[in-house]
Every structure is written in C-alpha cells, then in structure tokens.
Amino acid sequence: MNMTELLLLSAGLSADAFSASVCEGFKMKKPDRFGTFLTALFFGVFQAVMPLIGYFLAKRFSDVTTAFDHWIAFILLGIIGGKMFVESFHTESTEEKVYRINIRELILLAVATSIDAMAVGIVFSAQQSDIVFSVSVIGTVTFLLSLLGVIIGNRFGGRLGTKAEAVGGIVLIILGVKLFLEGIL
C-alpha cells in the first residue's frame, strides 16, 4: 500500500470519529483546549489501536469480529446519542450548563467509531504491511481530523445552544444506524 492509499484509507476510517468529535464540540459552551485535545487524542489512539489488534488477531477471530462489530457500534452510538438528545432538553434556564469531559463516554465513542478499523488490521496482516507506520498514519490523521471536528462543533454549537446537543445526539444515532446497515448488507 503506497502513501496516497494509506492517507485515503486513514481519512475514510476517521470519518466516523470526525462526526463524533463534531458532536463533542457541540456540547462545549466555550472553547476548551484540554477537552478538545483529549477528545482528538482518544479518537486518534483508538483508531490506531484497532487495526493493530486486528493485525495480531488476523484471521483467527476475524469471523467473530466482523459478525458483531456493526451491532456493537449501533448499540454504543445509539445509547450515547440517545442520552445526548434527551439531556439537551434538561437544561436549567437559570444557570449555564457546564461542560465536563466524560471519559467513559469518550471511550465508548472511540470504540464505537473505530471497531470497524480492526478489519483493516487483518488486511495489513495479509499484505504484510509495515504495521507500525500504517497505524501511526491512521492515528495521526484521525487525531488531526478529530481536532478539527471538535473545533467546528464548538463554533456552531455555541451559536445553536441546546439545539446543537440535540442535533449531535441525532447525528450519533444516525451514524450508529449507518454502521449497522453497512454491517448487515
């Protein structure tokens, strides 16, 4: 796989993480550098680790992961998106809602948006690709696109208020349904 193909693959794999990071940015009322960095870091690391896991598991468990990955992503994104949607209607009018990083939610989002990348690791194994370089590129591209996603989400989220969080929840649910449909079709 040449560098152009690897960059295109990385961008494709990071599309779901980008969408989820925009939703995380929606929830921030003001720019939060630490939250922005941490969100992008979680998505980048998980997107790099999943192909690495797939590489080492290779064909041994490929039937199991490909049979259930779409279900896992669908359930996790549905729960997180539903929670985000419902919470958008439970704001107190007297005080502004304070954004706090929810590590558990970030982990679930990162897993849900990167689980399909495990199959790419299996391809890397079959092609005998340089796995360290490949996952480094995937992780870096995902980190940068997720960073951009949080910034974009924050810019629009501040203008839209609680509507942005509701939209973000709907986007995550739609993303879960998309991944599920791709897995069963």
Per-residue pLDDT tens digits for 29-84: 787 899 999 999 999 999 999 999 988 887 676 566 667 777 887 888 888 888 88
In the predicted model, is pLDDT for residue 97 greater than 60?
Answer: no
Domain definitions of the chain by residue range: 3-184
pTM for this predicted structure: 0.78
Q: Are 42 and 113 in contact (CB under 8 A)?
A: no
Q: Return mean pLDDT, the chain.
A: 85
Q: What pLDDT score does 94 carry?
A: 36
Q: What percent of the chain is modeled with pLDDT above 70?
A: 88
Q: What is the DSSP string of 9-26?
A: HHHHHHHHHHHHHHHHHH
